[in-house]
Structure 1
Amino acid sequence: MSAPSSASTTAVTPVSLPGEELLRQIAANIDAMLWSWDPAGGRITYTNPAFEMFWGQSVDKLAGDPWQWLEQVDPADRDRVRQLQLAAVKRSEEYRVRRPNGDVARLSQRALPIHSPSGQLLRVIHLANNITWQLDTSKQLRVEIGRRTDSEAKYRAVVENVSEGILVTAGGRILYANPKALKLTALDEATAKSRPFIEFIHPDDRERVLDNHLRRLRGETVENHYQFRVQHSQSVTRWLEISAVMFEWEGTPATLNFLTDVTLKRQAEEDMLKALAHERELSELKSRFVAVTSHEFRTPLAAILSSVELLDAYGASFPAEERRELLGQIKTAVARMSNMVEQVLLTSRLELGKFRFEPAPLLVPDWLVQVMAELERGNPQAARVSLTCDGLDTPRTADQQLLRHIVVNLLGNALKYSDPDTPVRFAVRGVGEQIHLRISDQGIGIPEADLPRLFGSFHRGTNVGNISGTGIGLHIVKECVDLHRGEIEVSSRPGQGTSFTVRLAAPPA
């Protein structure tokens, strides 16, 4: 039986979901240069303002020649940069750029490939940062520190006024930290110099930072830029990006470290990846919807068409009983299609947030009798349901619309996926401030592999065979349970049946 719903009389507008537009909004507000490469079309499909400002090129200008910007890259680095642009795996490179005004800059670029669930490369997101200032500052500091006269004053003049954190470490300890570095690590100078620097790193990142530090001291090749966390407080964690170079400090090998706060940039990257993942999820959802609805609509439409053709060709000669039977088949098929449309509209209303939890006093036993009577009128199989009700003699505060969708869909599934000669047990109990519903059948059950996606839209079990259905019912159930401040559990064994247990907030009225 289809659940009554106001959705059939309410206009439903498409859901506005995050995707390409959200990605553009994020990209437009970060300092890093960002562009999107389409490997299938061999073209750049998006450039953010930072890219356009640095390269003097926009996505429109690059439409005819997507490699124009490469002409500014140092010839010795171009092949590496070209390969980076086409990267199918995550990687990074540093390279030199000669600006139109003659200045030379150095960039650090990362490629973030985006793949479909099947492994197809969909696009490559590129992020680049201008690191010229780090190299210039490093060179200047090396010169200043190398001079034994007056070097301390000049050193401080350079580093204490830059906007990036600078640390000097040797022997596992911090020898110097400029004001910005102390702020980024949430330390005071005395604390920073009193303990091994590794103690200030987030525990989950210490092994990586220490390994890179020791390898750099041994003269091994180490990643030039990587990120780690520092814990400012119990609830605040900051992400820092480090770039380091080796130099001599009072005759001892030391490391000059540049620190940049990349917390917001990491969040932006995560948001972009989530938006892309959501975009893929929507694409998959759309495909499942088309597949399910086209299949489920085809069967009743075929029944309607064949019945109409028979009536059109032979209706005058058919006995009244046969005409009634054909008309009955048409009505059944139309009702089935109407129910499917109603479920799709209901799902859309739920996702749009049109449903609200509106509890009111409800005498549950009387309400259950009414729901079962409606179910029996629309589904002959409903006679198989055995109902027990306990502990609900007084009214409960519940939302009967949400409750109806939960009960009708769970009972409908139990009847649909079990043999006509087996019982379906429906037990309702009042337990403290809650109502507990348990619906059990002896049907085909649910394969274990299907359980993680059981409540997803348009997902159907792999063992349903030719049994009709849209895969929407359990999604509606889960949404209604959540709105009713409840929880749902399922236990099932293929071939032995399924039990759903629902616990809903419903205190005595």
Structure 2
Amino acid sequence: MKKLLSYVSKINNHLLECSTIDDALNLCIRDIGLEHNMDRCYILKNKNNSDLLGFDYAYAYEWCNNGITSYIHHLDLSKSLINALFSLDTILSRDKLRFGIGKDIDNNLLKKIFEIRGVKSYFFAPIFSDNVFWGWIGLEDCTNERFWEEDEISVLQTIIKSLGIRLSQTATVSKLERTIEKFNFFMSSSNQAMWEFDIETEKTNFSLNWFGIIGYTPEEIHEIPNFWEKVFSAADHDKIFNDFKKFVSGKLERFEGNIQIIHKNGHSISARYSGLLKLNKNGIPKKVIGTYMDISELVEKEKQVLLSEAKFRFIAENTTDLICQHSKEGNLLYVSSLSNDIIGYNFEELINKCPWDFIHQKDLDNIKKYYYSIVKNKEIETITFRFRKNDGTYVWLETATKVMLDSEKNIIGFQTSSRDITKRIKADKEMKAAFLKERKFNELKSNFVSIASHQFRTPLTVIYSNAELLELKINHHEKGLSNDCNVIISRIKNEVERMTELMNNILVFGKQEAKKIEKIIQPIDLNEFIETLTKTYFNKDGGAKIKVTKKGVKRIFFTDESLIVHILTNVINNAFKYSVGKPDPELIISYLENTIEIQVIDYGMGIPKKDIPNLFTSFFRASNTSSIIGSGLGLVIVKQFTEFLNGTVELKTKENFGTTIKLTFPYEHQ
């Protein structure tokens, strides 16, 4: 046992005294091999730190007894050994041992390698560093088939744990050295200097970069009596020392601030100081560690920024436009004083608000496209939109936006200049409305002249020629005069009716356009009204008749009877006119819960799809109706009068299949 303890102590000395981990491990595997009468002792290191990646070993260290072949530089065999050991990964990585007789190994590849290496007995043990599988150690006996005693196994496990501890310490020291190196580099290349004040001894240690900031070397600082009184102004000296005492005593939560330090050459430096209080294990203040940072350049830049901001505000407050500055996300950071006059909000009501919340819903899509265009192109662009004022009304703004960039051309915000153009927009709308009205009036006059010229001249010519013909026949007493006269008279009557329809429609249309029609609302029995209307005007003996259907429970209908007559006569007349030779038209009255619905259905020629958008345009006629008499005003009158009575018109049609017109009215006119 004493021999084993001495052996363990020897191994620990190697781990403690060797300056490098390589020296320590090489000495350890040598002594482990000699102590246990082994022929070969080696360490394989796992190059992966994560179990998720599997294991990848490197043949890192090896010791061989006299006369025993070394394989650490024998590339093929070392790779073969590593590949063979993959089957042991699970066992070793779970902190399990593997040992026994070489010929009894159950891994065929490993058994073959053992035969090449002459292994009689073996011992494999894992090495862990900070609970991470670092690698494993292997012992090989090429002379004897041996069995391992419990004391030997226990000692080896103890030694291997010591190896893991040393590996962990080495890794920690390496990380710490790298951290210190980075810290020293950062401090030496920055405008900061460190100091450390020992509260018990009242001594201050100065380190890193003091010469770069105030021109004094650390040696000069230590040699100058009352150094801090020399480099601080009187006002700063009293304040900083009072604050320091309060900070150490716990009366001041933080020790930090800005001061002026006098450089060795005599000029002042703006500096920022801060300190951190360190306590001992009993909670008593032990030391203060702090830094001083030269912020002269920053202070100068702040002065320039303040001067620029002052100039900007002077310009912004003395212009007729609303000047705003926005963050990169668009929120308002600055709003000039004209905000109250233009949009009705005070400065405080708008700061940190998103302008998009005030934009009219119909303008939001354009605003978003405008924003993305500015971000992409980084050029000044202008847009007009509606902005909600404090009283809920909207004002039209014309806004120019400029992108604000940093020194690396990255967007840091936006500046906008907006002006109220509500009056201009209103004037433009009024001008456009007047122009459209004038154009419509001119078109109306032109169409009227054209239709009147054509529609009046033709029937008048027919009437005149037939009158002459009638006169001629009567004068010559031709046979069959009576029959011929009836035909001629019929033609005259038809043309007179045609002219009457045209004249009536033009007169009614003119009154409606001139806003001279008044409503006289009274209750009517729609069933009786329709029956009288169809019987009087349409259901003539021997001709086509309209089929009337009633649905629902009859209710009283409040409306203007004369306007309804105009509406229905035009609709029904069209149904007959454009369905000659087809099944009779239908009229369906539906008494619904809140409205009354009248449908007129014909099975005639229908309307071409291309003409449907223009059907309710004055004097427009479908392209397939040139051979049929009409004024092009019927549907216009229907639509105008229906809407005048708070109703709606819906038209469905298909060429060669017919047309359905649905009129919907409230029961009571409001």
TM-score class, shorter: 0.5 to 0.7
- What is the match of residue 239 of structure 1? 396
Partner Cα separation in structure 1 for residue 355 and residue 557 of structure 2: 60
Amino acid at match of 2:384: Q
- Is residue 293 of structure 1 aligned with residue 452 of structure 2? yes
Kept in 1, the 8 Å contact 2:344–2:391? The answer is no
Please state if 1:230 is matched with 2:390: no
**Which residue among 336, 357, 363 is the counterpart of 1:178?**
336
Answer yes or no: is the 8 Å Cα contact 2:611–2:623 preserved in 1: yes
**Is residue 505 of structure 1 aligned with residue 650 of structure 2?**
no
Match of 1:132 in 2: none
Q: Residue type matched to 1:258 in 2?
A: S
Give the aligned partner of residue 584 of structure 2. 423
Counterpart Cα distance in 2 of 1:286 and 1:146: 73
Alignment partners' CA distance in 1, 2:332 and 2:555? 70
Q: Could you tell me whether the CA contact under 8 Å between 2:556 and 2:667 is conserved in 1?
A: no
Structure-1 separation of matches of 2:601 and 2:538: 18
Q: Is 1:362 aligned with 2:512?
A: no
Structure 1, residues 429-482: CA drift from partner, whole Å, max 9, x if none?
333343321211110011222222222211111221311101111111112211
Distance 1:165 1:456, change over 3 A: same
2:533 to 371, 374, 395: 371
Superposition pairs of residues 274-353 of structure 1, within 5 angstroms: 274-319=433-478, 320-321=481-482, 322-353=484-515
The match for 2:598 is 437
Q: Does 1:262 align with 2:421?
A: yes
Q: Work out whether residues 607 and 624 of structure 2, in 8 Å CA contact, stay in contact via their aligned partners in 1.
A: yes
Residue type at the aligned position of 2:452: T
CA distance in 1, matches of 2:601, 2:334: 69
Alignment deviations for residues 154-191 of structure 1 (CA, whole Å, 9 cap, x no partner): 65555424432123457566553211146545554345
Given that 2:538 and 2:546 are in contact with CA atoms closer than 8 Å, whether structure 1 keeps it comes out as no
1:267 maps to a residue whose letter is K
Aligned amino acid, residue 489 of structure 2: L
- In structure 2, what residue type is equivalent to 1:416? K
Q: For the structure 1 residues 173 and 490, does the alpha-carbon distance in structure 2 shift closer, same or farther, using more than 3 Å as the test?
A: closer
- Aligned counterpart, 2:642: 481
The 5 A counterparts of 1:28-427 are 156-168=313-325, 174-181=332-339, 183-184=341-342, 187-190=345-348, 192-194=350-352, 203-211=364-372, 213-214=374-375, 218=378, 220=379, 222-223=380-381, 225-232=382-389, 236-243=393-400, 257-319=416-478, 320-321=481-482, 322-376=484-538, 383-391=544-552, 395-427=556-588
Amino acid at match of 2:464: L
Against the structure 1 CA distance between its residues 473 and 187, is the aligned structure 2 distance closer, same or farther, given a 3 Å change threshold? same
Deviations 1:362-418 (A, max 9, x none): 2233322321232148x6686421223345656432321122112211110010000
Q: Deviations over 1:289-328 (max 9, x none)?
A: 3333333223312211211232344431145413344334
Superimposed CA distance per residue, residues 72-96 of structure 1 (whole angstroms, 9 cap, x where no aligned partner)? xxxxxxxxxxxxxxxxxxxxxxxxx
SS of residue paired to 2:338? helix
- Structure 2 CA distance for aligned equivalents of residues 393 and 449 of structure 1: 39
Shift of 1:493: 1.3
Counterpart residue type for residue 179 of structure 1: S
CA contact (8 A) 1:365 1:392 kept: no
Aligned equivalents of 1:400 and 1:174: distance in 2?
61
Please name the residue that 2:256 is paired with: none
Cα distance in 1 between the residues matched to 2:666 and 2:404:
66
Segment of structure 1 superposing worse, 427-436 or 447-456? 427-436
Report which structure shows greater RCO (CA 8 Å, sep ≥6).
1
Q: Distance in 2 between matches of 1:274 and 1:334?
A: 39
Give 1:300's aligned amino acid.
P
Q: How many angstroms apart in 2 are the aligned matches of 1:199 and 1:387?
A: 56
Counterparts in 2 of 1:247 and 1:443: CA distance versus 1, 3 Å:
closer
For 2:466, give the aligned amino acid.
Answer: S
In 2: Cα distance, 1:385 partner to 1:169 partner: 70
Question: Are residues 199 and 490 of structure 1, via their aligned partners in 2, closer, same or farther at CA, if it must alter by over 3 Å?
Answer: closer
Residue deviations 1:267-289, cap 9 Å, x none? 32233223323333333333333
| Matched position secondary structure for 2:367 | helix
Q: Deviations along 1:69-119, whole A, 9 cap, x unmatched?
A: xxxxxxxxxxxxxxxxxxxxxxxxxxxxxxxxxxxxxxxxxxxxxxxxxxx
Partner residue of 1:460? Answer: 621
SS of aligned partner of 1:331: helix
Give me the whole-angstrom Cα distance separating, in 2, the residues matched to 1:282 and 1:309.
Answer: 39
**Identical counterparts, % of pairs:** 26
Letter aligned with residue 429 of structure 1: S
State the distance in 1 between where 2:347 and 2:457 align: 74
Letter in 2 for 1:166: I
Q: 2:652 aligns with which of 479, 491, 499?
A: 491
Structure-2 residue corresponding to 1:136: none
Whether contact under 8 Å (1:381, 1:420) holds in the other structure is no
Letter in 2 for 1:487: T
Q: 1:384 to 1:157 in 2, by over 3 A?
A: same
Quick check: 1:248–1:254 contact (8 Å CA) kept in 2? yes
Q: 1-side partners of 2:625 and 2:496: how far apart? A: 23
Q: Is the 8 A contact 2:608 2:623 kept in 1?
A: yes
Quote the Cα distance in structure 2 between the aligned partners of 1:372 and 1:196: 64
The alpha-carbon distance between structure 1 residues 247 and 484, as it changes in their structure 2 partners (threshold 3 A), is closer
Cα gap change, 1:147 to 1:395, in 2 (>3 Å): closer
* CA distance in 2 between partners of 1:426 and 1:306 (Å): 39
Query: Which sits farther off after the overlay, 283-292 or 407-416?
Result: 283-292
Partner of 2:177: none
SS in structure 1 opposite 2:447?
helix
Deviating more after overlay: 270-279 vs 336-345? 270-279
Counterpart AA for 1:353: K
Give the TM-score normalised by the residue count of structure 1: 0.61
State the distance in 1 between where 2:591 and 2:359 align: 52
2:632 equivalent in structure 1:
471
CA distance 1:356–1:211, change in 2 (3 Å):
same
SS of 1:194's partner is coil
One-letter amino acid of the structure 2 residue matched with residue 264 of structure 1: K
C-alpha separation in 2, matches of 1:275 and 1:209 = 31
Q: What amino acid is the match of 2:567?
A: I
CA RMSD after TM alignment: 3.7
Instruction: State the SS of the aligned residue for 2:596.
Output: strand
Q: Per the alignment, do residues 147 and 440 of structure 1 end up closer, same or farther by CA in structure 2, a change over 3 Å counting?
A: same
Q: Is the contact made by 1:167 and 1:181 (CA closer than 8 Å) also made in structure 2?
A: no
1:117 matched residue in structure 2:
none
Residue 459 of structure 1 contacts residue 472 of structure 1 at CA under 8 Å; is this kept in 2?
A: yes
TM-score normalised per structure 2: 0.47
